[in-house]
Structure 1
Amino acid sequence: MSGIVTFDNVGLRYGTGAETLSDVSFTLHPGAFYFLTGPSGAGKTSLLRLLYLAQRPSRGMIQLFDEDVVTLPRDRLPGFRRRIGVVFQDFRLVPYLSAFDNIALPLRVAGVEEHDLAAPVLEMLDWVGLRDRATARPATLSGGEQQRVAIARAVIGRPEILVADEPTGNVDPEMAARLLHLFDVLNKLGTTVVVATHDIHLLSRVSGAGVLRLERGRLNDPTGALRHPPGGGGEA
């Protein structure tokens, strides 16, 4: 099975300080579910930023969709980013837009005509259980509702990869379980999912998920999960 993402000896350094990430190598397989875990400050957010092309590495090779993205011309980056959905830790909803319009934003950016927006956006609102909050602005939504809008916005373009940075960090355990279920459903539809979390109790909630553990900027892979597809597959 070929990888949808490959990191090979990737290092990341901000400025002249010590490396935040060092010699990071792994392969993510299409249609698989992964948790990225590790203590605070281990480099999880930095790794995710490399994954969704918000940052270029200081060294090493990164391939996405069978192309080297380290040397990819900048004018091709937007097309790659549209294939990746991102749920940010701080939601990043547009405060003056309704839930409907926040979710519709990626489609508008992609040039979808206005008359074609309603059906997919309302479907997403139904999927996250917020149809009755379609006209609400972020300030009037609870933290869990804002998170669900952010998830709907991230997946409305049917991304090939979904990246979520601590998506359950600001919600209660019941809502955390509900959000994780949404990611699991999306994964079963074929999207490769990467969820960063410091909550080790979540790791057993998705059957067959792979676990990438970062410690001081390096990946620790004692089970070989990065060399084999999750769910018991063979060599990549």
Structure 2
Amino acid sequence: MANIVQFENVGLRYDTGAETLSDISFTLRSGAFYFLTGASGAGKTSLLRLLYLAQRPSRGVIRLFGEDAVLLPRDRMPGFRRRIGVVFQDFRLVPHLSTWDNIALPLRVAGMPEADLRQPVEEMLAWVGLTERAEARPATLSGGEQQRVAIARAVIARPEMLVADEPTGNVDPDMAERLLHLFESLNKLGTTVVVATHDLHLLNRIPTAQMMRLDHGRLLDPTGSLQYPPSPRAEP
């Protein structure tokens, strides 16, 4: 499998504060499944934001789909982002669109003819158990239902990479298992999957998944040690 993502000594700092992420280096293989773990505040969401190009790093190199994502021209960003499915913690559904239309949105953006939308959208509605809520607006959905709409929207276009931030945090255990199976099925079709979670019960559900663990903004190896030694820091 080829590399789909490469981070080299990446650091991220918001404003003038301390670094949120420091000396992050790793490689993601095309078609692999990864769990990103770590305590609250460890930097999981910040790392995912770098992966789906919502944030540029303060330093270091990020290569995505074989190209330097840090230097990517602004006019090419939309095309790159369409290759990545994202499940946000806060869902980010379009409030005036129905469940059906929120799920169909990526296909419409990609230019799929209206006549071809019905089958994939209705299949996805059935998979996430929302067929009866197809015409509902986000404001009338429960948190768990909104989460399922967000997941369906993220995966319907079969992205090359799926990035999910706590995707099972608002659903019951049975639905969490079902959604994880959806991610696994998508992965078997060739999509690279990165799931950030603090739910340790999920980590053994995908036997082939690889673990990435963050601690206070640094990547750890499986033994719990720093995977890469920190760079020298200047004293304040």
- Does residue 132 of the first structure (1) align with residue 132 of the second (2)? yes
Please report how far the alpha carbon of residue 112 of structure 1 lies from its aligned counterpart in structure 2 after TM superposition: 2.6
2: CA distance between counterparts of 1:12 and 1:183? 28
Please report how far the alpha carbon of residue 120 of structure 1 lies from its aligned counterpart in structure 2 after TM superposition: 2.1
1: CA distance between counterparts of 2:74 and 2:213? 30
Q: Which residue of 2 aligns with 1:12?
A: 12
Classify the secondary structure of the residue corresponding to 2:85: strand
Q: Which residue of 2 aligns with 1:184?
A: 184
Q: Deviations over 1:53-80 (max 9, x none)?
A: 0000011111111111100101001101
Matches of residues 1-236 of structure 1 in structure 2 within 5 Å?
Answer: 1-222=1-222
1: CA distance between counterparts of 2:104 and 2:175? 23
2: CA distance between counterparts of 1:135 and 1:177? 25
Classify the secondary structure of the residue corresponding to 2:78: helix
2: CA distance between counterparts of 1:54 and 1:173? 30
Please report how far the alpha carbon of residue 195 of structure 1 lies from its aligned counterpart in structure 2 after TM superposition: 0.4
Q: Which amino acid aligns with 1:126?
A: A
Classify the secondary structure of the residue corresponding to 2:170: coil
**RMSD, matched Cα:** 1.6
Q: Which amino acid aligns with 2:15?
A: G
Q: Deviations over 1:80-138 (max 9, x none)?
A: 10000000111111122111100111122223332232222122212323223211222
The 10-residue stretch of structure 1 (12-21 or 121-130) with the greater mean CA deviation from structure 2: 121-130
Q: Which residue of 2 aligns with 1:233?
A: none
Alpha carbons 1:88, 1:164 under 8 Å: kept: yes
TM-score computed with the length of structure 2 as normaliser: 0.90
Instruction: In structure 2, list runs of 5 or more residues that go unmatched.
Output: 228-236
Q: Which amino acid aligns with 1:170?
A: N
Classify the secondary structure of the residue corresponding to 1:204: coil
Alpha carbons 1:32, 1:187 under 8 Å: kept: yes
Identity %: 80
Q: Deviations over 1:20-72 (max 9, x none)?
A: 00000001111111000000111000000000000000111111111111001
The 10-residue stretch of structure 1 (135-144 or 52-61) with the greater mean CA deviation from structure 2: 135-144
Alpha carbons 1:144, 1:175 under 8 Å: kept: no
2: CA distance between counterparts of 1:145 and 1:130? 8
Q: Which amino acid aligns with 2:55?
A: Q
Alpha carbons 1:99, 1:133 under 8 Å: kept: yes
The 10-residue stretch of structure 1 (102-111 or 201-210) with the greater mean CA deviation from structure 2: 102-111
Classify the secondary structure of the residue corresponding to 2:164: strand
2: CA distance between counterparts of 1:175 and 1:136? 20
| Residues 33 and 152 of structure 1: CA distance in aligned 2, closer, same or farther (over 3 Å) | same
